């Protein structure tokens, strides 16, 4: 793994680190999207199936196809939905292995900032969706400080550990999303912000989970023991516990939806 590259290869580790956050945001996102039942869905960059599971449970789809480059993530995704409820395949968001108009809805959940050329990814979603169909996404507003572990990134940066970010973080800004959807010829485009909160049992639970992130693991391993202790102290100060020791904090995502012209 390149030091400047983030890869999610462990579906179980991803679940605690980001899957739970994804479903929190995804629940609000699907309520806003309000899709009718009986659609053919493609979940682009499905990862470990956190959002795919929501699609199956909430949207009564006629079919769901998940695609992701990570075999480990796909293996976990297959384990979390009932057999036959969704199909999972390896693939590239910029070259979707599907014919034109194969789906009624395409979605990217916490993915667009990982796509090296976001415009290609959005164009591919538009290509594989039938006229009148939906193309949508939500992604952490990293530039605006909405990433769930932004405090961790900032405190590590203050101690000299350079942050590692996905390659296309600017693509998650609301104005950038609108430009991408317009560039793909999508219409009836709408955007919104989604703010969610997550509670950890105590600081130890937060610390254990935060360390599993691929953007953190190698950097933490390289830090001196004194810096690690200082990092924990600074995070405790920024993320105060309640009377029961629990830690609650928020994250913010930007969401967009549009339609393929009829």
What CATH number should be reported for the domain holding residue 18?
3.40.50.150
Secondary structure of residue 54 in the 3-state scheme: helix
**pLDDT score, position 67:** 97
For 109-153, what is each residue's pLDDT tens digit? 999 999 999 999 999 999 999 999 999 999 999 999 999 999 999
Is 5 part of any domain?
no
Q: Is 221 a member of any domain? A: no
User: Tokens standing for 48?
Assistant: 């470990």
Long-range CB contacts for residues 33-38, cutoff 8 Å, separation at least 24: 33/134, 33/136, 33/257, 35/59, 35/105, 35/134, 37/61, 38/62
- Report the pLDDT value the prediction gives residue 215, as an integer from 0 to 100: 80
152 located within any domain? no
144 exposure class (CB count in 10 Å sphere: 0-12, 13-18, 19+) = middle
Q: How does residue 10 score in pLDDT terms, banded at 50, 70 and 90?
A: low
Hey, how many other C-beta atoms are within 10 angstroms of the C-beta on 160?
8
pLDDT of 225 over the 50 cut: yes
> What was the pLDDT predicted at 2?
34
Q: Which residue has the higher pLDDT, 105 or 15?
A: 105
Q: Which residues contact 20 (CB under 8 A, 6 or more apart)?
A: 50, 198
Q: What is the pLDDT of residue 169?
A: 95
Residue 33 lies in a domain: yes
Q: Which residue has the tokens 């912000």?
A: 193
The answer to whether residue 58 sits within a structural domain is: yes
Binned at pLDDT 50, 70 and 90, residue 3 comes out as very low
65 found inside a domain: yes
Judged by average pLDDT, the poorest of 127-136, 166-175, 215-224, 249-258 is: 215-224
Tell me whether residue 114 is in a domain: yes
Computed over every residue of the chain, the mean pLDDT equals: 94
Query: How sure is the predictor about 5, in pLDDT bands with cuts at 50, 70 and 90?
Result: low
Amino acid 214: pLDDT: 81
Q: How many domains does the chain have?
A: 1
Tokens 């590692």 correspond to what residue? Answer: 164
Asked, for residue 204, whether it belongs to a domain, the answer is: no
Q: What is the Cα–Cα distance from 39 to 32, expressed in whole angstroms?
A: 16
Domain span at residue 189 reads 11-145+166-198+252-259
Please tell me the predicted confidence (pLDDT) of residue 164.
84
Distance CA 154, CA 163 (A): 8
Q: List the one residue out of 135, 1, 148 whose CA is nearest residue 72.
A: 1
pLDDT-derived band at 212, boundaries 50, 70, 90: confident
Q: Which are the contacts of 129, defined by CB distance < 8 A and separation ≥ 6? A: 42, 101, 103, 104, 105, 106, 135, 260
pLDDT value, residue 163:
86
């Amino acid at each position: 793994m390149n030091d400047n590259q983030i890869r999610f290869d462990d579906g179980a580790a991803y679940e605690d680190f980001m899957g739970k956050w994804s479903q929190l945001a995804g629940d609000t996102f699907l309520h806003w999207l309000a899709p009718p039942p009986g659609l053919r869905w493609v979940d682009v960059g499905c990862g470990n199936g956190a959002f795919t599971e929501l699609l199956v449970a909430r949207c009564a789809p006629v079919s769901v196809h998940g695609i992701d480059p990570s075999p480990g993530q796909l293996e976990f995704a297959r384990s979390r939905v009932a057999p036959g409820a969704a199909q999972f395949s390896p693939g590239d968001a910029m070259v979707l292995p599907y014919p034109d108009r194969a789906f009624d809805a395409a979605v990217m959940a916490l993915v667009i900032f990982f796509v090296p050329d976001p415009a290609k990814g959005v164009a591919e979603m538009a290509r594989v969706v039938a006229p009148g169909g939906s193309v949508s996404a939500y992604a952490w507003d990293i530039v605006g400080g909405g990433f769930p572990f932004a405090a961790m990134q900032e405190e590590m940066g203050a101690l000299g550990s350079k942050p590692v970010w996905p390659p296309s973080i600017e693509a998650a800004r609301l104005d950038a999303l609108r430009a991408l959807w317009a560039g793909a010829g999508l219409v009836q485009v709408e955007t919104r912000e989604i703010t969610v909160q997550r509670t950890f049992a105590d600081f130890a639970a937060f610390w254990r989970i935060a360390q599993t992130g691929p953007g953190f693991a190698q950097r933490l391993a390289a830090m001196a023991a004194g810096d690690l202790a200082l990092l924990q102290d600074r995070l405790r100060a920024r993320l105060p516990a309640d009377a029961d020791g629990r830690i609650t904090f928020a994250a913010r995502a930007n969401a967009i939806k549009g339609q393929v012209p009829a």
